[in-house]
Structure 1
Amino acid sequence: MRTALTLVALATVVMLVFVVVGFIRGLEQSLSVSGDEDVVLVYSVNSEENIENSSIAARTPSLITASLDGTVKRFGVTHVSPELYLGTRVKTATSDGGLGLVRGVKYAAPLVRRSVKLIEGRWPGDGEVMVGRLAAAKLGAPDDDMMVGSQVDFEGRSWTISGRFAAGGAAYESEIWCRLGDFQTATKRQDLSLVAMLLSPGSSPGQVQLFCKARTDLELRAILETDYYASLQQHYKPVRLLAWFVVVLVSGAGIFAGLNMMYGAVAGRIREIATLQAIGFRRRAILISLVQEGVLLAAAGSLLSGVIALTLLDGMAVRFTMGAFTLRIDSVAILIGCGVGLLLGVVGALPPALKALRAEVATSLKAV
């Protein structure tokens, strides 16, 4: 019973490490895959890194395409996506929902956002939206509320879900997309939040940046999409550092908990340890044996936690300010989790074993 309880306690500590490391890895993965190195974002210079607060003139896309030749153009379609992007209260069928991210787009959007793939349903028509696979997690609503054919309410209108899309883990997966004209009508706005441009091979984003600097009347700035999400990684760096600090705290607490458990485990075996010394076993051999038992328990607990984490935690959706992302139990998370578990086994077993071996054999044999 004592061994089983020790195993469960060690597995619980390692599971906490898996959760925190999976959170960090999921956040980093979501931001790293969100950007496209060939896409340039043009938005208001006054909004800094907060695109939701950006407001640019509706004529900006036509001005950019007329002035620059570096965008991809195939079959007469220029790969430029004008978008209206903002956060708004979204209600679902069974809940009041929460703050959702809605993006008004045109048909050119999936040409520029090349990671977006329609996985169910169809492109939205009038009064319809398509939702990312993590939109329900962002709203804190059940997944059934985001099925094709369901209704969502925002900006004073009811919208029908026509399709669902995925984006390979990118930040778009927590968004709701609708037609740009419908969204402008619902929000009573005629401006845009940003313009996304897909550059042709050999084109430089510097051309777009020079255009934005030259047209001071438009108050625009241009940035590569990869650089934009890299800046978000810097923005969330304190959160990631705090999470790593939590990992250290959990590991430290686990070591002390392991010490407490191992002290209890060894305290009940004082007579056994003294008997082994009395019949001729060396203290070094007994110490190694106790450490081996601790490492074996820790390894078993780590493997148990690893199986549970890979089965239940990997891919679990988590709400966050930037949207939603999934916990990622990858090789790094497994390495850190199992490393902490083995550390618990070694460090937790040594002090109580040394204490028990320092006691006099005659006194220990009389212990109850």
Structure 2
Amino acid sequence: MTTQVTDDIRRCAQCIVPEGYPDVTLNQESVCSHCQTYQPKEVLGEAALWDTLKQRQGSGRYDVLVPVSGGRDSSFVLYHAVRQFGKRVFALHFDNDFQVPQARQNFLNVVEKFGVDYTIEQSKYHLPIKIVHHAVKTALPFGKFDLTTNCCVACTYGYRAASYRKALKLGIPTILWGDSDVEAISFFYRQSRIKYFFSRYFYHYLLFILYTMLFQFEFWIPKSRFFHLSAPTYSGDEILDVHFFDYVEWDRETIKKTIMNEVGWKAPDKSATSWRFDCTIHHVVNYCFKQTYGFSKDFDGFANMVRAGKMDRQEALQQEKLIGEWDDEMGRILSEDFNLSEQEITRYFGIH
């Protein structure tokens, strides 16, 4: 049941964007510039998707590799790929060392139900833990938002690089990704890293760079840019990147109903949303965004869903209100996962 959410903030009358949101204006009818120019994206059709995949059938055991986080969208993509191709699908799960247990369990449930071959990839040296630890230590003196800028490097690079490496190794010609424009987050604010060189925490920044380089060596893929901190791409002809939701309409309720009924998928019991729950870091990132800007990192995605008619406006406001709030789990993450002392948590987060 959706609770009515009200506040004193002037918001877009159609989505949930507040007045003052970066690069967005509200007109006299309180409709934001994004809603005024919004055009729904036309999908290419499921028949076109399967035609594309069948034209690139692999010479080995598999036709398609599907990266699966254990979240709802990638689980839905794997379900459809298996239904269409059966055991010629290979599933890959990347453990970034900050994984929510339910995400792995969701992955295991779906691959075991359909009997598809799979792998779980993880850094042998637990480099993501080291990367995040030193990224956080570097950023602490500069405020909560700086803390979020480098936390996602290991996962963003790791799951894509692991997918390309495995596809190349097994001769799989196509990777079927589960991202969607409806959930896309367009709000990014890049912080200058020059200030880190003049900080007393400078050595943490050097270690962040070192461990990031080692991580990219561990998951190196040919024909890619070195020390490129965003998601890598593969430029060779051996692999075709196919985005499932370019062909099939993304519909939140259909996705949830299908995977819950067909494969027993579930979100963690205490999760405020079924979206982006699979990594503990994301909880902290949403909190820091809210403390800095007044909205979470996921806010842009909620607004997109409302704009596309895939989420009720009140539900979006309710979920935005619930995520990124301080709780006991946040304290555990900062203490155990980020390895911060009580003094650091008190000083930089104001929590006693």
- Per residue, is there more strand in 1 or in 2? 1
Q: TM-score, normalised by structure 2?
A: 0.25
Q: Which has the larger radius of gyration?
A: 1
Greater helix share, structure number: 1
TM-score normalised according to structure 1 size: 0.24
* Larger RCO, structure (CA 8 Å, separation 6 or more): 1
